[in-house]
Structure 1
């Protein structure tokens, strides 16, 4: 009987165990701390340290000479290199060991010559000495004896001042007015006396996306102004922000430990606002104090000062002040010339555009406009024939003389114009076939003749011209090849190889270049260019979820073209994400810049197209058709800023395709973002606002099916966190489930915050990869 009862008990126990196992979820795979550590090695700041033989930052020309220096990473650490093109000489800019020893002795510390404690310096006394700063300490080092001493900086100007061309005086702002002082002078002389809050001289609009950040951290900002070549006059503006409506941030956890939240207000014009910041241009005689107001309407200054956009410049002899003017929404552009003595203004060139006019294909880069021959001619960039090209105008009459460049390709940047030989040098893309984004160096005569290609390599060329235009520093490469830096003469001949890049440090981690892919746009005709980034342990027999790393902004390209390209940060961020166990795609789409005007115009009045979202879907389906390791049943999407908008828009408008989205600091509704952005790329707002409804992510909130994580920095003065909270409000009203993370005290730089990175990784690991992330992994700031 006992045996019978025991048997029954065993049967029940086995049955209970089977039922319990059936009710338990299947065990999940685990992504380990070691996996995260491997991913961390590829974060942008870490990955670039493994890349050697590539200049770090721009080259620095020594005065007006052709000599220049740059910083480069080598296998043995960083070096500062000085180049003399005329002598074909390349050498260390100084003895790194002796300078490190001299600085160490002077500062009573220890500096490593392979990691010098400064990133920039200035040659003085014709190269016999250096001036450099280490933190707050200011040093002067004699290169003959290699001795260093703290220098007397009392005669130097602060970063909040704008030095005159000869360096003897500086312009600054005090109590909303302009002042000027001589080197070593404490007080200075007041130049204007009618400045007041929000009607002040030399200020930048608070819609510049960092007004609160500048205020919080006391960041010095020099006046928005420009000295005349002879150093007597200053062109600036009295900026009118009176009546511009405010935006607000609430700092819930102030750094000083206060338990009372702190309020920050800043003036920030939105699309449709009747009052926007306006820059009233003036010319000030710094010797007499006379203020001449230009006899012209003020310039729109919604986002940046016209000086920050380089839309104002002096004639080389100071006889005229030139200004580029754009209407609100930029449907028209004009070039004006002002007489500094009288303030009279003459319009030289006017152009209108069906969508919007630009003077350069890259927002905020120097306009491709040059005034030549003392005003006799003007070189003008326009997309009137469907491509960005250069046109030569008669200066006195404003009549078109000739089109200088033409064809189905894009002029990117004017580098130099030699008026004596009537020749200009410029970069362009799309002319040679292949990847239409690869830049090449060209020259052409102003009076006609063929365009001459000066760089033969099928690569992306990043070119800088010397001040006199005699030499060009060219760093060329591709995303699948190490960059090479050469010095070229005017013919394009490479007269010196300065650096040969190496990927050995990256390859030692198992890295291999991403797959460069070409797909068709939604029209089935247009070629689009992208990348597939795979994890270092990629197994073609396995199946991987896909993460679409996005940015829709119509103002910039997104897919990097070279390891040396500033956009390479996109590649490294994608590589780090791929290491979690996914493949990451970085894709192009209709509506982005740097192709034809028709290609770009797809996004105009159509920001809800979100950087060619339909092209992303089409491209991924094309790619997966021949790559069975791409699992389109598990597609995620991530982006920051405009990419935060696009990632949210993707999961809301394509809920059956995108399963997981991480959205950082999204400008989810252009009605709540800076007026310049929406009005330029989406068009002026209709009186009833109807043309802005579909672009708003709040409009589509009820469509959410997948997993959505919204992240925003609490102190973001670029994209207001209110835009994320408005999406949250719409999701709650639609009874949708989502996740949210607010990062206290962080501004628009939150995308690089270690906690942000870790939580983004965790979200994809858990909800897309279907694994368990390591508990509370700490990403180390880099």
Structure 2
């Protein structure tokens, strides 16, 4: 029996299975390594190599052929997958030495190696289960984490030993704490020195952090799982940085932590060790150079902002000549800076630095918010654009070779040196037809989708936003619209709009939501709806639904609670209903510290709005969600019940924030059709 489209979406992970991912380029620019499964419904990732001189692809490691059976993930591995939004299986990650003589990779929470020239491989007998394994630059040893300890083992499988062991159950070495991985884009907790003699290592003490519990009601015999979760206004983990050498020596880094609770980034290159610190209010971000021999630091750059200092992935970085690469928010533009001086023009919004190749910097930036292009800067040529096709482009560069990872309205492709890395993903039987436009007086970037074959008949409307500061939805990328097109084909006009607070339109646009996560977000959705309706009188504004997940789930519930005159039904998946119940770093960035400014949290909470619910509302939540905990849905549901307001709750046992690989779209469609009186 053929699967339905929603089932196919789930089985193919949104038609992404079979695509190359975790792409890297060897230092000589001659080979591309990447992970890819064998097809569009195969979740098992294998390690591949593309030789750019011959164009030949070669399978380097197959976990099934190596006999590495997939095992049930440990609690730590489940946490890693949630933070990384990783649903796949097989090879988790890999690393290689500077000469690319050996590749170390992890599968089934075990460590393996392979010779990329001969294809010969073997299991490295490290302690299991393990995580975050990284090969030293000289290829002689692998650092990894087991049971909270940072350990070292020779690449030949000898000499396994602990470099740092936790002093208590609340301490870990070599891992990123929750807010670093979830909210600061730092998933690592240890970094090799370029000479492979030492490592910079995070020590995390979670003792001050509150303990939250998740249970599985389908297995009442299983005890709840404890998590350390730093909710807004509560204590953070205590994070420190240490230099460990391979012989057991240790130097404690004096970061001057008073007021600086967050370790944002660490980088170690030929010019030395850098660390980035941020204070609790996030108004100051400081880059320091660390002397690994003494642990002393000196400030090399600092940024300040009355609202918050923005973390940009990939910075700081340094060119071959030692120039410090960063960003600066000046007026309404996020600029690339070189040794503190802006080098990009006004209106070009820098989103990410992809790395330095010699004195050339590769970075991603937007002139048009719906697109993101690759650009380069170097001291001779200045700023130059690399990509031209409308879309969302990322990349890596080494030895003058650039790998371009492109997502466009026509599909996805990874290209390098005139070659395309094979994409084995399944083709969608439905291709989204998207109209991107600028809506209303604020030129809100908006995508509009109609049913395939639509002849102009009157249509109910479905708003399908995200609306949060973590991502954009109205973008020139076909992948963003498979679900939206499916809903459109069920008889809706679907509108996807990015309002104030979303990335890509500059610092002022992002910071407009400071102190209020509700008013402007909702206002922009209403404005986008009315702007599109002014162009299409076929839209039936008496039947308007809204759906979303996470920040989009919050926005959907907010819409029917506060604007029932506009929105007539909502589906809210994994909604943040009370911002006090989300983490410190993320929420305090936008709403401040609730111990000093509780009103901002009250204004943005949905709990007090429960008594006013007039429209049908469906709440969906994974009961193993350790990002937006199920308490968000449960507390809103309890408040609705106390107020006598009927609503629907769809619990998902065993599911995390990513949701399960099952059809969740059909229940939403049935609810919306019934609620909006659609036959």
User: Normalised by the size of structure 2, how large is the TM-score?
Assistant: 0.83
CA distance in 2, matches of 1:118, 1:408: 42
Structure 1 position 654, deviation (Å): 0.7
Question: What's the counterpart of residue 55 of structure 2?
Answer: 90
Pick from 436, 444, 454 the counterpart of residue 528 of structure 1.
444
Task: Map residues 682-701 of structure 1 onto 2, 5 A cutoff.
Answer: 682-687=591-596, 689-701=598-610
Shift of 1:248: 2.3
Q: Distance in 2 between matches of 1:203 and 1:140?
A: 22
- Matched ranges for 1:140-155 at <5 A: 152-154=122-124
- Name which of 379, 382, 403 aligns with 1:473: 403
The answer to whether the 8 A contact 2:10-2:661 is kept is: no
SS of aligned partner of 2:530: helix
Superposition deviation, residue 185 in structure 1: 5.6
2:385 pairs with 1:439:
no
Distance 1:127 1:177 in 2: 27
Shift of 1:240: 2.1
Aligned pair partner of 1:542 in 448, 457, 464: 457
Deviations 1:14-67 (A, max 9, x none): xxxxxxxxxxxxxxxxxxx99x93554556837627x9xx95324343465422
Query: Partners of 1:412 and 1:730 in 2: how far apart?
Result: 40
**What is the alpha-carbon distance in structure 2 between the residues aligned to residue 142 and residue 191 of structure 1?**
26
Distance 1:502 1:223 in 2: 30
Give the aligned partner of residue 475 of structure 2: 560
Deviations 1:349-407 (A, max 9, x none): 122102111241xxxx322x2234675x42221113331112232xxxxxx5x322231
Aligned to 1:267: 228
Is the 2:113–2:122 contact (alpha carbons within 8 Å) kept by the matching residues of 1?
Answer: no
**1:755-779 C-alpha deviation (Å, 9 max, x unpaired):** 53332222123222533xxxxxxxx
2:343 maps to 1:404: yes
Q: 1:161-197: CA deviations, max 9, x gaps?
A: 4433334333345665444333466773443467212
CA distance in 1, matches of 2:96, 2:362: 31
8 Å CA contact 2:212–2:227 kept in 1: the answer is yes
Structure 1: any 5+ residue segments left out of the alignment? 1-32, 108-116, 211-220, 394-399, 489-495, 772-782
Match status 1:296 vs 2:255: yes
Deviation at 1:674, TM superposition (A): 0.8
1:222 deviates by 10
Contact 1:337 1:348 in 2 (8 A): yes
Distance in 2 between residues matched to 1:141 and 1:291, nearest whole Å = 31
Contact 2:93/2:105 (CA < 8 Å) preserved in 1?
yes
For residues 26-65 of structure 1, the aligned pairs below 5 Å read: 37-38=4-5, 40-41=7-8, 45=12, 48=15, 56-62=20-26, 64-65=28-29
Correspondent of 1:602 among 512, 518, 521: 512
What residue number does 1:23 align with? none
Per-residue Cα deviation, 1:190-220 (whole angstroms, up to 9, x for no partner): 434672122342244356789xxxxxxxxxx
Of residues 38, 61, 67 in structure 1, which corresponds to 2:31? 67
| Aligned residues of 1:81 and 1:90 also touching (Cα < 8 A) | no
Q: CA deviation at 1:544?
A: 1.8
**Deviation readout 1:665-694 (Å, 9 max, x if unpaired):** 111111111111110122222536122111
Tell me the CA shift for residue 335 of structure 1. Answer: 0.5
Cα distance, 1:333 vs structure 2: 0.6
Give the corresponding residue for 1:4: none
Q: Deviations over 1:522-571 (max 9, x none)?
A: xx2x31222122233x43332221111121221222223223xxxx2x31
State which of 364, 373, 378 in structure 2 corresponds to 1:427: 364
Aligned CA distance change for structure 1 residues 79 and 118 (closer, same or farther; 3 Å)? closer
Structure 1 residue 653, shift from structure 2 partner = 0.9
Contact 2:395-2:403 within 8 A present in 1 as well: yes
User: Paired residue for 2:325?
Assistant: 379
Matched, 1:248 2:200: no
The question of 1:276 aligning with 2:233 is answered no
Secondary structure at the counterpart of residue 243 of structure 2 = strand
Indicate how the Cα distance of structure 1 residues 333 and 634 shifts in structure 2: closer, same or farther if over 3 A, else same.
Answer: same
Task: Sort the Cα spacing of 1:193 and 1:652 in 2 relative to 1 into closer, same or farther, 3 A.
Answer: closer
- 2:282, 2:148 → 1: CA distance? 30
Distance 1:451 1:38, change over 3 A: closer
1:331 matched to 2:260? The reply is: no
1:635 aligns with 2:544: yes
Hey, what's the Cα distance between the residues in 1 that align with 2:236 and 2:298? 25
Deviation at 1:739, TM superposition (A): 1.5
- TM-superposed deviation, 1:639: 1.0
Q: Structure 1 residues 726, 409: CA separation in 2 closer, same or farther (over 3 Å shift)?
A: same
SS in 2 for 1:451: strand
SS at match of 1:763: helix
Deviation at 1:503, TM superposition (A): 12
Given that 2:343 and 2:383 are in contact with CA atoms closer than 8 Å, whether structure 1 keeps it comes out as: no
Query: 2: distance between equivalents of 1:105 and 1:196?
Result: 36
Residues 317-348 of structure 1 deviation map (CA, whole Å, 9 limit, x = unaligned): 5xx32101111131111100111111111111
Per the alignment, do residues 726 and 471 of structure 1 end up closer, same or farther by CA in structure 2, a change over 3 Å counting?
same
Contact 2:437 2:445 in 1 (8 A): yes
- Are the aligned partners of 1:592 and 1:603 in contact in 2 as well (CA < 8 Å)? no
Note the C-alpha offset of 1:582.
1.8
Question: Per residue, is there more strand in 1 or in 2?
Answer: 2
- Matched residue of 1:48: which SS? coil
Task: Work out which of the residue numbers 296, 303, 320 in structure 2 matches 1:344.
Answer: 296
1:358 paired with 2:358, answer no
Please say if residues 197 and 246 of structure 2, whose CA atoms lie closer than 8 Å, have aligned partners that are also in contact.
yes
d(CA) in 1 for partners of 2:106 and 2:301? Answer: 45
Within 5 A, what are the aligned runs for 1:156-167? 159-160=130-131, 161-167=133-139
Residue range with higher mean Cα deviation, 688-697 or 155-164: 155-164
Structure 2 stretches of 5 or more lacking a match?
Answer: 69-88
Determine the C-alpha separation between the residues in 1 that align with 2:636 and 2:56.
Answer: 56
2:20 alignment partner, SS class = strand
Change over 3 Å in CA distance of 1:152–1:477 after alignment to 2: closer
Select which of 210, 218, 228 maps to 2:193.
228
**Aligned residue for 1:726?**
635
Contact persistence 1:206–1:266 (CA under 8 A): no
**Are the equivalent residues in 2 in contact too, given 1:577–1:584 (CA < 8 A)?**
yes
1:635 CA displacement: 0.8
CA distance in 2, matches of 1:731, 1:718: 23
Deviations 1:431-451 (Å, cap 9, x if unpaired)? xxxx4332233333437x753
- For the aligned residue pairs, the C-alpha RMSD in angstroms reads 4.2
Aligned in 2, Cα 1:437/1:604: closer, same or farther, shift over 3 Å? Answer: same
For residues 96 and 236 of structure 2, the distance between their equivalents in structure 1, rounded to whole angstroms, comes to: 45
3-state SS of 1:465 partner: strand
Matched, 1:370 2:309: no
- 1:453 maps to 385
3-state DSSP of counterpart to 2:641: helix
- CA shift digits 1:489-544 (9 cap, x unpaired): xxxxxxx25379999954xx464522222212xxx2x31222122233x4333222
CA distance in 2, matches of 1:425, 1:641: 32
Are the equivalent residues in 2 in contact too, given 1:411–1:426 (CA < 8 A)?
Answer: yes
Could you tell me how far 1:249 is from its partner in structure 2? 2.3
Output aligned runs, 1:170-209, within 5 Å. 170-173=142-145, 176-183=148-155, 188-192=160-164, 195-206=167-178
Within 5 Å, give how 1:616-655 maps onto structure 2. 616-655=525-564
Match of 2:12, SS state, is: helix
Bigger mean CA offset, 405-414 vs 55-64: 55-64
Alpha-carbon distance between aligned partners in 1 of 2:599 and 2:95, rounded to the nearest angstrom: 58
Contact 1:205 1:301 in 2 (8 A): no
Query: 1:598-641: per-residue Cα shift (whole Å, max 9, x none)?
Result: 1111112111236x221111111121222233211111111111
8 Å contact kept, 1:195–1:201: no
Bigger shift: 497-506 or 697-706?
A: 497-506
User: Match of 1:519?
Assistant: 439
CA distance in 1, matches of 2:542, 2:33: 52
The change in CA–CA distance for 1:702 and 1:681 in structure 2 (over 3 A counts) is: same
Aligned equivalents of 2:392 and 2:93: distance in 1? 27
Radius of gyration: which is bigger?
1
SS at the partner of 1:357? coil
